[in-house]
Each structure stands twice: as C-alpha cells, then as structure tokens.
Amino acid sequence: MRGFMRHGVPSMLKHGSGAERSRTRPIDGIGQPRVWRYRRVCSFCSFRTCDELRNGVETRRYVIAWFRADLRVRDNPVLLAAIRAGKGHVLPVYCFDPRSFGLTDQAKFPKCAAPRAQFLRECVEDLRNSLRALGSDLIVRHGRPEAVLSELAEQCGCSQVFGSKEVARDETRVEEKLNASLAALENPPELTLRWGASTMFHPDDLPDGVAQLPNAFVRFRRVLERQPPVPMRSPLLPPAKGALQPLPEGVDCGAIPSMDELLKESIPAEAERCFQLDARAALPFRGGETAALARVHYYLWESDRIFKFNYTRRGLRGADYSSKFSAWLAHGCVSARDIGHEIKRYERTRKANLSTQRLVHELMVRDHFRFLAMRVGDALFRLGGPRGRLDFEWKHDRAAFEAWCTGATGYPLVDASMRELHRTGFMSDRGRRSVASFLIKELRIDWRWGAEWFESRLLDYDVHSNYGNWTSAAGLGVDPREELRLNVVKQGRAFDRYGLYAKLWLPELKAIPQGDYFMYEPHRKPAAERATCANLEQYPAPFVERKREPNALTALSARLRESRVREARGAESRRDVWQGRLAAMSKSSITDAELDDLVQSLVVQQSVAQSGRESVDVPRYTYTALGVALVVSVLLLIGAWMKYHRWIRRALESREDSALFPSMRGTTRM
C-alpha cells in the first residue's frame, strides 16, 4: 500500500507531494500577494488600463476554469491547463444550469429528481472545500453557462475559458451557445475545450481513431487489448498548495442553490423536493471527491472486496456486492483512469484474478458507450435508436407506465427494484436489466420513457451509458447481439433465492416463508396458503400477464399440431372442389365439347392438387432432426476413422517392436 497511504492518510487525498511543491515557483516572482484594482479598461487591449500603459505596468489576466462533469482537483486536465495558462490566476466556476433541472423531452419528467440534486450539491460543496484548501475558491452561479461565463469574462477581462469537452446532444449545444456568446463580446476570450479524463482511454491514443472503432463491444475490447495494447495515461496529480491565487476583490463566490431553488419549477410538490435517505439503502452515498477516493480506497485496499467482485457483482442487496463507483464517476468526482491505475497497482501489489479483470472490463464498457455516442450523435435519442428501426409500434400507456414506475406491476423483482430506485436513487445492475426488459418486452412501452425515468431518478445517471443500455435492451443498438427477453420470475429466483431482497422493499411479502417457491409469483400461490400470509392481499395483482416461454417439447408439439391441421384443411378444400364439379356434371345437360373442357379442367385440378400435396411445407423440426442426424453421422464416421487409424498405428508399432526385440514376440503390450 506504499504510495497510496502515507502516515495513515490516502495519498490520493493529498494535494501534491513535497517534491512537486518545491518545483512550484511563486506566481508573482517575489511571493507577494497582488492587489486587484478595478480601473477603466483600455478598449484596445482589454487587459491594461490607460494608466498602466503609461507606466509600463501589465495587469495579470485571469482565465476561467469551467467545471462540468469533472468535479475534482485530482487528475483534472482542465484545471491544470487553466493554471498553466493563467499562471495561477484562475476563476473556477460551476453553473447550475436551469435546463438540467427542467422536464424531459418525451414523458415530461423532471430531468433531475431530489436524490441526484442533493448528491450534486454535495459534490459542488466538496469541490469548493478542495479549492479553498489550495488558496482559491469556487464561483457558483445558478444560470445558463453562456450568460454567466460571458458576464464574468467581461467583468474580469479574462483571456481564455477552459472546459471539458462533452459529446452528447444537450452538452454540445451548450458549448455552441457559449462560443457564440463569447464571440459577441468586445474583447472575446478564447474557448478551449479539452478531453477531461472522462474515459479510461484517451481518444487520441486509439489506433484508428474513434470513427473507426467497431460497434460490437467484444471487438472494441480486442482493439484495446491487442498487441501492443492501447496505453492508459497516468492520472495527473492535484495542484500544489499555492498554485492557485486568491480570487480578485469584488467577485462574489455565490452560495450553492437550495433544493427548492433548483427544483421548484420542475417539481411543484414541496414534499418531493426534500430528500431523506432511506435506511434500507444499499450504501449511504455522499457526493464529492473526498467520499469517492475514500470508497475506492475501502473497496480495493481496506476490505479487499474487489477480489470477489466477479462472483458478487450480480447481487441485489448489501453495500459491497459491487463497487458502486458509478455515481462518483458520473459526476467526475474521480476519473476512470485513476481507478484503472489503482486496479493495476492492486494487481501488482496483491494479486490479479478474474475479479480485477472484470472491474476493468466494466470501465471499458463505460468507454465504449461514450465513444459510441460520439459516432452516432443524435440517433442515440431517437425512437429508432442508432439502428434506425421503426418497424415496431410502441405503446404510450400512462397507467401501465405509472405502475412500472411506482413498483406496482405484481412482479416482485420489478417492484422491489423500482421502489429502491425511487427512495434511494440506486438500483443494481441485475435489477436495471430486468426492469428494462419488462417495460420493453412485456409492456411494449416506448423505451425512451424508461430512459428518461432513469435519467430523473438515478444518482449515477450518465447520458451515454443510460441511453446506450436502453437502446441495446430495445434491440435498437449498433451491437448485433440484441438483448434477450429476461424472465423476471426466474431472475428473482436465481439471484434472490430466499427472497430477502423482495422482503426488504416489499413489506406485503414478509409473511411468505423464506425460500418459498411462489415468492416471485405470489399471485399463483394456492388460495389456502395465501390466506395464511398476512397483508399478502395488499400486494397488487399482475398488471399484465407475462407471456410464458414454452420449452422445446411444447414448441415441437405445437408445430406438429399446426402441420396436421394445415394438411387436413388442404384435403377438405380439394374434396369440396371435386364434389362441386361432379354435381354440376350430373345435374345439367352439357354438350360433348363442354364435357371435354370439364374433364380437361378436372385433370388440371388433380395435377395441381397432387403437386400441392407433394409440396406441403415440411415443418422446421424436420430439418432440425435431419441436421442433427447428419452431424451425428459425420461424427460417428470421424470417430470410426480415428479408431481405425489408431489401430493401424498400433499394429505398425507392434511390428516394429517385434522386429527390434525378438525376445518379446508373442507377449502382450501394456
């Protein structure tokens, strides 16, 4: 653990080492604090006043560090680039954009519900404390970035605005509006957007660039791991204390908006704007870089939970069945490559196994979805998805969707997962897959409604991963392997064998005995047993009857029955035709010529019927049986040939041994 823990304090929490601080020179050259004075700015240069031009004195120009989804000081390329450009004279800014707290496009949900809003406020508060420890502060504004940053740049005469580059639709539109707003100023500052370590692998390090990446994740992973593998850049150290200068006088830092200020327009009900963490939550999430680094240190080094990640990651309850890094990764409280390097150091220091590789695999999946969003653009948010399929008719049933959102579908795994999401802002990976499959495959509701509900409620909402996973679940992703229909009953029995997770979030089921077969199908429980379970009648009946998946034998019987019915119907239709013709011949007086024509037509009908009888569709199972028989025959032939070849070889070896050792002739070879 050397390097990560020094004197009992995680090194990830320290702001630079002593060697780095010794290399840091005072910003002013003499170490004295510079006094900021507001004077009339020269219209020609915007960073020298007329008095300073005459006296030959140059005023330091400030640069803006615009924090977005990178709320940290460690491994933050944007912050370090701003420090270098401004020589320490940096204005760190975070904007609570009202558009991020508005309503979604399709279902008109609040984009950010109370759990994530509270988590975001904690992240910003922790970032402010970190910057204050470095000698600066965080300027917080509640407004649109294009207006806030333009006003601040004009007020302080800033020369550059640094920010992290985003790739999703709404974020790129904000960048375009900010660029236009800055360009409209009298002395426009330069907008510089950098890749802010939002992925484990930098796009510039990919062999053929982002545009040439394969769509399927399996091939994407091969690109990263083929020889030579794509390098993972080292995380950047946080700025040393004193690298940031104090904010200029007259600049108000601003207060962090309250929950009411953020949510009053999108959530009218005052009770829903207050968030109290449920005691049943899997983990008491706390926003901020400090909590993120502490969680990484605990999961890897203190508890060694990573060592069993591959075997526990499909769990449903508990704090440590998964890493739960996603909420801090989504807000940029810790970088993906920082976690990746910690995992590699764990493998070098302790041991590498399938679990450590699996966690790196999950970080690769996150990179895959972000690079996918770069390639497909707005198609990620359309009804047809990246694949552009519009051949399916989606429903917009508000009642069914409301039952899904509130956990009242009648299927315990879906209901327990949705209630956990509503009250904590978190849901397990297995739960997310199950509820998405149920909404899409069983209820047939527009997948975008489900994606927007996740956007509203999840603490770890990440636009790229969220919409990428939903399009895959709907069969609209670019990966040719579509998500299969998940049986939510079997999923519950497999991953919650004793029903502990269901009982935790569904008090109506607490009276059902532990491990009961009908725990995940309470509506099928016999009436006599239902009467002995208190409060079970309060649990809702299934909102929709789930389509049962027939087994292979049932499907084969159904196909046989359909084939026989189809053949019988064909025979009856041909019999009716013949009887009609004969009746016409017997009841009417016809000439010889008409009789010849009728006989000829009957011959044609007979030939058609005979050909139709011979061309009856062979059921699919017949071809399957023939294929299996052919494969078995080939395998038997190969086995016989190998056995014969082995017998010939042994015979030759026996002959050679007899020739070399005449005394052993006639003995048995062992």
Is 607 marked as a binding-site residue? no
**What count of other Cβ atoms lies within 10 Å of the Cβ of residue 533?**
19
Ramachandran angles phi, psi of 393, nearest 5°: -95, 110
Is 661 marked as a binding-site residue? no
Which two structure tokens, joined as six digits, stand for 31?
């170490």
Residues with Cβ within 8 Å of residue 560, at least 6 apart in sequence: 619, 621
The pairing of beta strand 90-95 with beta strand 63-67: parallel
Is 324 marked as a binding-site residue? yes
How far is it, in rounded angstroms, from Cα 195 to Cα 76?
10
Max CA separation in the chain (angstroms): 129
How far is it, in rounded angstroms, from Cα 103 to Cα 473?
24
Dihedral Cα 457, 461, 467, 471, nearest 10 deg? -60
Asked if 511 and 535 count as a contact pair (C-beta separation under 8 A), the reply is: yes
Computed over its alpha carbons, how large is the radius of gyration of the chain?
Answer: 35
Which two structure tokens, joined as six digits, stand for 147?
């207006």
Is 322 marked as a binding-site residue? yes
CA separation, residue 22 to residues 4, 18, 28, 83, 336 (Å)? 21, 6, 16, 17, 29
Ramachandran angles phi, psi of 140, nearest 5°: -110, 130
Is 462 marked as a binding-site residue? yes
Is 323 marked as a binding-site residue? yes
How far is it, in rounded angstroms, from Cα 658 to Cα 660?
6
Which two structure tokens, joined as six digits, stand for 441?
């495959």
How far is it, in rounded angstroms, from Cα 12 to Cα 328?
15
The burial class, CB within 10 Å (0-12 / 13-18 / 19+), for 418 is buried
Q: What's the one-letter identity of residue 157?
A: G
How far is it, in rounded angstroms, from Cα 523 to Cα 518?
8
In which residue are the tokens 């304090």 written? 9
How far is it, in rounded angstroms, from Cα 123 to Cα 69?
10
Query: Reduced to 3 states, what is the DSSP secondary structure of residue 2?
Result: strand
Nearest to 461 by CA among 104, 24, 85, 189: 104
How far is it, in rounded angstroms, from Cα 79 to Cα 546?
52
Is 325 marked as a binding-site residue? yes
Partner residues linked to 5 by β-bridges: 2, 10
- Map 249-287 to HEC letters: CCCCCCCCCCHHHHHCCCCCCCHHHCCCCCCCCCCCCCC
**Apex 460 CA angle, 454 and 464, nearest 5:** 70
Asked if 657 and 664 count as a contact pair (C-beta separation under 8 A), the reply is: yes
Q: Which residues of 64-84 are buried (b: 16+ CB within 10 A; e: fewer)?
A: bbbbbbbbbbbbbbbbbbbbe
Ramachandran angles phi, psi of 6, nearest 5°: -125, 120
Residues with Cβ within 8 Å of residue 218, at least 6 apart in sequence: none
How far is it, in rounded angstroms, from Cα 91 to Cα 191?
14
Is 461 marked as a binding-site residue? yes
Q: What is the H or E stretch that residue 577 is in?
A: helix 552-587
Packing angle of the helix pair 354-376, 336-349 (nearest 10 deg): 160
Binding-site annotation, residues:
322-326, 460-462
Binding-site annotation, residues for FAD:
322-326, 460-462
